[in-house]
Amino acid sequence: MTTMTIDQVSAGYGSSPDVIHAVSATFGPGVTHITGTNGSGKSTLLEILASNVLPRSGSAHIGSCSVTDPRTRTKRTYVPHEVGLIPALSLHEHVLLAAPEADETALARAVDGWGLREWFGAPVEDLSTGNRRKAWLLLCLLDVTEFVLLDEPFNGLDADSVEYLSACIREWAAQQRVVVLVAHALPESLRAARPRVLRLQDGRVRDD
């Protein structure tokens, strides 16, 4: 199994000061929980792993390839926190556009797992905030790859959906996928699985 590594990475946005400073870490099979206070650099670190933010110094790799190498794109599933759905389209239409070759059995299982069967054909603008978030997660996670990057995925979810997503994450970990999860807190069922923890404070790794 290939690992994802960052080595002495510092990064920020535009002309602003660095958000993270000389962070090094290795992400291997199983779940790594990135935690820290607001503004500590959690989402920025995840965006570096997704190659949406480039390091100002240091490096980020999947195996021997830089995360910016096009060949690594197919190895990553990235779920940003911000929902990016088209209001006038239904979830069904989103699936047809984004994943026209999705396995019908897996799709049906996901729709039921997220409790979205009733809303599958409704325009996204008619969905509640919670159901829009569930639709976003369903769409992003239809084709899970070797590396799964999740930014605050539990926010806005009801208890049943939290447990469904937790079960999915445990399954991915059991399959030896690399799951990197940004969250202020984890559900009890994931804490019990004793994930690795990377704590950030003021953009630096905090040693406990």
Q: What is the pLDDT of residue 208?
A: 62
Q: What is the pLDDT of residue 206?
A: 85
Q: What is the pLDDT of residue 193?
A: 82
CATH superfamily assigned to domain 4-205? P-loop containing nucleotide triphosphate hydrolases (3.40.50.300)
Q: What is the pLDDT of residue 163?
A: 96
pTM (predicted TM-score): 0.94
Q: Could you state, in chain order, the average pLDDT of each consecutive group of 10 residues for the chain (208 residues)?
A: 90 92 95 93 95 95 93 94 96 94 92 96 96 97 95 95 96 95 92 91 85
Domain boundaries, the chain: 4-205
* Neighbouring C-alpha atoms within 13 Å toward the C-beta of 6: 29
